[in-house]
Amino acid sequence: MSPSDTLDEFIPPGARWTVREIAQQPSVWARVQALVAMQAGPREMTPAFIARCLATPNLRIVLTGAGSSAFIGQCLAPALMRQTGLRVDAVATTDLVAGPHLYFQREVPTLLVSFARSGSSPESAAALELADQFVDDCQHLVFTCNPDSLLQRLAAERGNARTLLLPVETHDRSFAMTSSFTSLLLAAAQVFGLLAPAGGQAPAISAAASAVLAQGLVLAEQLVEQRFERVVYLGSNELQGLAREAALKLLELSDGRIVASHDSPLGFRHGPKTIVNDRTLVVMFVSNDPYTRQYDLDLLHELRRDGRAARVLTLSAQPLQGSCASPADDVLLEGLADASDLALAFPCIVFAQRFALLQSLRLGLSPDNPSVSGTVSRVVRGVTIHPFPDVEIDPDVPRH
C-alpha cells in the first residue's frame, strides 16, 4: 500500500489528486531515472545529440517554461553553468513571447530547453517557434509530461528538436504542479549530468524526500495550526528558484489567502525583510556550498536573534550549530550532507508542497482545484499570441 492510499482515507475528495501526486514522488523519480537511462534512437534525446549541442562554439543555453516550469530553469541554471562553463539563462516563456527581440540573439547559437507539464499553453508553443525565427542556429530540447501536447507535436515536426516524454503519472491532474515539477527537474538534471544516477546522489535524494514526507507531517500540521498570515521562503543559488516555486505553491493552494514571498538570504535585507511581522513564518533552504552557507547562516542568526518573525524554520542537510540552532525548527535532510544544492531541492520542495496542501485544507478549499473564483486554471486560457512585425529570416539558413 502506498502512502497516498493510506492518506486517501482521511482526505476530502477535492484533495485526492494533490495528495497522491505529492506522495508518489520518490517512487516516480525511479521511473524517470530509468527512462533517461534508456533514451536511444534517432528521434530521441540521445547523449550524442546532447554532446553535439554542447560542443557548438559559443553556445548559449536558454531554459524556459511558464510558471512553475520557468522555476525549473532557475533551479538548473547555476548548476548547468558551473558544469558546462557555457552561458546559461533562465528566461520564462512569458518573457520570451512578450519580447523575443530582447532575449534572442540571431548570431548566437542557442539551445532552447523547454519545460512543460501539459505542453499546451500558448506561450510554450510560441516560444519554440519564435526561437527558430529569431536565431539562425537553434536547437531544442523539450521535456514534457503530456503525450498529446502541442509542444511535443511541434518538436516532432523539426529536425532540430528532441523530446523527452516523462511517465504518464507525472502529468499531474491537480491544479498545482507537484510531481511534474520535480520529475521534470530530475530528468533535465540527469540528462545534463548534474546529478549522478543510480548508485550516486539519486537514491539519497529519494530517501531524504521519503523521510521528509513521513517525518515532516507532524511539523507541517503544527505550522498550519499557527495560522500564519505571511510565509517567506529563502534560498541561495539553485535554491533561490526553488524558494520561488515554494512560495507559488502556497499562493496557489491557499487561493491567495496567505501572502507568500521569496528571496535570497542576501537580497532579503534590501527591503523585502519589511514583510516580517509577528504573523510571519520564514522558511530557509540552507545551502550546502561552504562559501554560500556562511551568508545563509548570517541571516538565520539575525532573524532568530531579532525575534520579529513568529517562527523561523530551516531545512538543512548539515546540522546547525551554536546560536543558529533551534532543534524544534530545524529539519535535517539526512544522507545529503555532501550533496549539491540542486540535490537538496527535491526534499525541500516536497516539504513545501505538503505544507501548502495542509494550508489549503485548513482554509476549507479543494486543493485539486483551489481557485474559488475560477480566475486561474490548470492550463492557462485567454492568451492571444500576436505576430511579431518585420522579422527578417534568411531563406538560405536551414531550419532542420
Residue given cell 553556445 in the structure block: 59
Q: What is the dihedral of CA 376, 175, 68, 303, to 10 degrees?
A: 90
Low-confidence ranges of the chain (pLDDT < 70): 1-10, 39-46, 197-200, 374-382, 390-400
pLDDT given for residue 375 in this prediction: 67
Q: What stretch(es) of the chain map to CATH 3.40.50.10490?
A: 3-191, 201-362
The DSSP 8-state label assigned to residue 56 in this structure reads: S
> What is the CATH number assigned to the segment(s) 3-191?
3.40.50.10490
For residues 101 and 87, give the distance between their C-alpha atoms in angstroms, rounded to a whole number: 18
Q: How far apart are the first and last CA of the chain?
A: 48
pLDDT given for residue 197 in this prediction: 58
pLDDT given for residue 382 in this prediction: 63
Residue range 266-297, pLDDT digits in tens: 999 999 999 999 999 999 999 999 999 999 99
Phi-psi map region of 57: left, alpha, beta (phi>0 left; psi -120 to 50 alpha): beta
Strand partners, 263: 234
pLDDT given for residue 42 in this prediction: 46
Among 359, 77, 368, 85, CA closest to 225: 359
Q: What is the DSSP string of 208-258?
A: HHHHHHHHSHHHHHHHHHT--SEEEEEE-THHHHHHHHHHHHHHHHTTT-S
For residues 64 and 399, give the distance between their C-alpha atoms in angstroms, rounded to a whole number: 20
pLDDT given for residue 23 in this prediction: 95
SS3 286: coil
Class of domain 201-362: alpha beta
The DSSP 8-state label assigned to residue 311 in this structure reads: E
